[in-house]
A and B are shown apart, each in its own frame.
Chain A
Amino acid sequence: MLNLKGTIQKRKKIKAPKAAFLALSKNLTIKSLKNKKVGKNYKKDKYFLFEEASFMVLVFGQDEARPLYLNKLAKRYCGPSCENLLAPARPNFKINPIWQGWRKRHAEALRALFTKKIPMRIINIPLHYQSRLSSRERRRSERYFKFIYQPLGSKTGPITEVIVFGLEVSEQLLLVNQVMKAMEGLREEREKTSVILESISDVFIAIDRKWNITYMNKRAEFMHGKPQSDSLGKKLWSEFPIYKKPEFANYVRGSMQQRKFLEFDYFYAFTNKWWHYRCHPTPEGLVLYASDITEKKEMELQKDAFIAHTSHELKTPITSLKLYAGTLLYKLKKSKDTSLTTYVEGIDERLNKLTGLINSLLEASRIQRGKISFNKTKFSIDKLVEEAVGNIRKIAKNHKLTVKNSSLKMIEADRGRIEQVFINLINNACSYSPSGSEVVVTVTAKDNNIVVAIKDSGIGLTEKDKENIFKSFYQVNDRERKKIPSGLGLGLSISKNIVEAHGGKIWVESIHGQGSTFFILLPVKDQRGYRGNNR
């Protein structure tokens, strides 16, 4: 800021007046000024050169109140009675208070100059100037002037006159003011942000690209037990060795290197708390943002425990029912009484469905919480798709299932889980498309990825369906066929979790009424080095 101001002042300082002043003091005629239109009425005194100057020129003798000379501009700015403007205030004579302020400093400056106490003086004052643009229109504007006091006379002899140059610096000051204001705004904004960051109950740490800590809020101080002043500028890894643990470091390094937003949950055994970390890459480096989710985790654990317990409690009577039904069926078959077997088979079938529902509920809860470990092996994707389609063919006999595979790739994944995804999607395709229609499964290889597309010619999806279809418990309403959705609406949510846990993606393209195509992208090998949600 100071620099800016300094340069402006320096540049503007004398240039124009100095040239004129030099010409004057050496009694030279400035040739360039000769061309200027100088009115005939002007006295041909030694100051005539200044008459049309773009800056104010005032010449004072010993009497600080009566200028010997004022140029056109000085007269204009100082008002109609400019000769008296500097005179002591008289009653009924209005003087701008700022001019009054100047008057004192002006008198001091003149006195000092005449007594050779100082060689030169510069006074900056704002001047409220009322300009008359037309007879009706009046505009008040504030202008800023810099006054340069230069004594005249020989070096050894007495000082006879003091010439005062009044340079307008409004523009420069305005610019400076604007910059100052902008800086102030920026500072305020930064302070505001800082206040917000300090007040939140979440941990906020900013790191530059070399892993140096550039900012951390109060909560971060509290969590790590180290004051901000101690940690700033130090490496994250050396300052907080706890972050070196792979379950933490892999995510943070991954986010920094790939410039990708990542989030994960981390448990601090020391404080017995769960934190949800978000890594945001920034132009400077990385921002770590962590919120305490211990309560949420506890709720989740309770929910899991509840689901696990309930499903266990439900499974025991189901087992019992299944065994009763099975025994009954055995006995009926043995006694060759076939009239009742269909009923018992019906019971058994519904019990299997009930078991399936309970299992999917349990599974969804476990998969969502990342509690399922994946047993990864290498296998042929084409073969797996063939197998999955083969399994569905046995059930969906009314649909034409076609496989087009050309990938010839081996992938590394949990075979059982991936098969589960395919079966789920192909099954959906069959159940949401009319009997006799075709379902096409295409397997293609693209770079290091496999894309499996499952296309049906069913009812298709609305925009709302597309938005929500991968959410838990969401079900597509098939009003046209009056089909009541069966199941819990967890299949696609489970599939999404499985695919994402393998570093893949799942999405759908569909036009309502014209069928849908579900896509699954799977990397040949999950090279992330870490597991979890990456949005």
Chain B
Amino acid sequence: MSKVKKQEKKSIFFIEDEVGITVPLKALLEDMGFFVEIIPRINSKLLNTIANKKPDLIFLDILLAGEDGRVFCRHLKENRETKMIPVVMMSAYPNAKESALKAGADQFIEKPFSVHELLEKVDYYLSSSNF
């Protein structure tokens, strides 16, 4: 992992407001050689930021403080710059899966998930990773 050069690092964005989830994930994934950015809030500039930074994978929570992740997902998928970025939506409501996929999410992961389940998703989209 140490061999992975910084410029080759795959970047993963976590749009999630729960610190208890983002802290261990950031620690784990960074340790595995990924560039991880935590975004606790959806705001008007976020779409632009993502379009500029072009992460390789986005994990998006459905229920963020006051915001619906599905609406943002739709914006992402409608934008020419960002629509190619795979989006994995997360929720503790199992029945949210359908609406998440409808909103354009590529995959859905139900909370609570294990590290293993999360890494499966990461591996699926960023298959060059070597965990």
Binding site for B on A (CB under 8 A): 308, 311-312, 315-327, 329-331, 334, 348, 351-352, 355, 359, 362
Question: What's the Cα separation between A329 and B118 when bound, in Å?
Answer: 14
Question: What's the Cα separation between A315 and B109 when bound, in Å?
Answer: 13
Chain B interface, number of residues (Cβ within 8 angstroms): 18
Q: B46-58 CB contact bits vs A (8 Å, 1 = yes)?
A: 0000000000000
Contact B112 A319, beta carbon cutoff 8 Å: yes
**Interface: B115 (CB within 8 A):** yes
Per a CB cutoff under 8 Å, which of A316, A322, A355, A362 touches B115?
A322
Write out the residue numbers on chain A whose beta carbons fall within 8 Å of the beta carbon of B118. Answer: 323
Q: B94-131 CB contact bits vs A (8 Å, 1 = yes)?
A: 10000000000000000111111010000000000000
Q: Which chain A residue has the least Cβ–Cβ distance from B25?
A: A323
**Interface: B68 (CB within 8 A):** no
Main secondary structure of the interface of A (DSSP, over half): helix
Question: What's the Cα separation between A321 and B111 when bound, in Å?
Answer: 11
Question: What's the Cα separation between A312 and B95 when bound, in Å?
Answer: 12
Write out the residue numbers on chain B whose beta carbons fall within 8 Å of the beta carbon of A315. Answer: 92, 111-112
Contact B115 A323, beta carbon cutoff 8 Å: yes
* Segment at the A interface, from B5-13, B16-24, B37-45, B75-83: B16-24
Given known A320-B20, A320-B21, contact A330–B31 (CB-CB < 8 A): yes
Question: What's the Cα separation between A361 and B118 when bound, in Å?
Answer: 25
Q: Which chain B residue has the least Cβ–Cβ distance from A351?
A: B112
Write out the residue numbers on chain B whose beta carbons fall within 8 Å of the beta carbon of A362. Answer: 94
Contact A327 B20, beta carbon cutoff 8 Å: no
Binding site for A on B (CB under 8 A): 18, 20-21, 24-25, 27-28, 31, 92-94, 111-116, 118
Write out the residue numbers on chain A whose beta carbons fall within 8 Å of the beta carbon of B93. Answer: 308, 312
Write out the residue numbers on chain B whose beta carbons fall within 8 Å of the beta carbon of A334. Answer: 31
Question: What's the Cα separation between A320 and B90 when bound, in Å?
Answer: 13
Main secondary structure of the interface of B (DSSP, over half): helix
Question: What's the Cα separation between A402 and B31 when bound, in Å?
Answer: 47
Smallest beta-carbon distance A326→chain B, Å: 3
Write out the residue numbers on chain B whose beta carbons fall within 8 Å of the beta carbon of A321. Answer: 20, 112
Write out the residue numbers on chain B whose beta carbons fall within 8 Å of the beta carbon of A323. Answer: 20-21, 24-25, 28, 114-115, 118
Question: What's the Cα separation between A485 and B33 when bound, in Å?
Answer: 45
Question: 29 A–B contact pairs at CB < 8 A?
Answer: A308-B93, A311-B92, A312-B92, A315-B111, A315-B112, A316-B21, A316-B92, A318-B112, A319-B18, A319-B21, A319-B113, A321-B112, A322-B112, A322-B115, A323-B20, A323-B21, A323-B24, A323-B25, A323-B115, A325-B115, A326-B24, A326-B115, A327-B28, A330-B31, A330-B115, A331-B28, A331-B31, A348-B114, A351-B112
Question: What's the Cα separation between A208 and B31 when bound, in Å?
Answer: 76
Smallest beta-carbon distance B109→chain A, Å: 10
Question: What's the Cα separation between A327 and B118 when bound, in Å?
Answer: 11
Smallest beta-carbon distance B17→chain A, Å: 10
Given contacts A316-B20, A324-B24, A326-B114, 7 further A-B contacts (CB under 8 A): A315-B92, A319-B20, A319-B21, A322-B112, A322-B113, A323-B115, A326-B28
Which 7 A-B residue pairings sit nearest by Cβ, starting from the closest?
A326-B115, A320-B20, A319-B112, A315-B92, A327-B24, A323-B24, A327-B28
Smallest beta-carbon distance B21→chain A, Å: 5
Contact A322 B114, beta carbon cutoff 8 Å: yes
Write out the residue numbers on chain A whose beta carbons fall within 8 Å of the beta carbon of B92. Answer: 311-312, 315-316, 319
Question: What's the Cα separation between A513 and B12 when bound, in Å?
Answer: 58
Contact B31 A329, beta carbon cutoff 8 Å: no
Contact A327 B27, beta carbon cutoff 8 Å: yes
